[in-house]
Amino acid sequence: MDMETYVPEEHIIQSEKDENLINEQEDIELVDKSFKSITSYDQFLKSESIPKRRHPQPSQLPDTITILKDETTNGIVYLVGTAHFSEKSQREVAEIIQMTQPDIVMVELCQSR
């Protein structure tokens, strides 16, 4: 697992800045090549739409889920109870993630795991 460490800009020496700039430019070129260019409003209308986020009905979700709603932000939290050792439970969690398409997934494990 690759992890990046945050270093404040004032602590970065010039050669690292140059290397980062080169890497950013390469990334931009790759992104530019992968996106289709849309040059008119008509093309925009005909382009692929972004699918709407699905919010399944509570009846579609397993009984192991508690739905929490934040009225101020309209945020929805799906709290999933699982048995970490159960393959069925693991599959159920994967299905729930696919169904709800969350922005964030948080996992809590006990210290013995």
pLDDT tens digit sequence for 15-38: 444 444 445 555 455 444 545 555
Give per-residue pLDDT as tens, 53-84. 667 777 888 888 888 988 888 888 888 888 77
Predicted structure pTM score:
0.47
Q: 75-80 and 65-70 as β-strands: parallel, antiparallel, unpaired?
A: antiparallel
21, 38 contact by CB (below 8 A):
no
Mean pLDDT, residues 91-101 taken together: 85
Instruction: Write the DSSP assignment of 35-61 as a string of letters.
Output: SPP--SHHHHHHSPPPPPPP---GGGS
Q: CB-based contacts of 2: which residues, under 8 Å, 6+ apart?
A: none
The torsion region of residue 35 among left (phi > 0), alpha (psi -120 to 50) and beta comes to beta
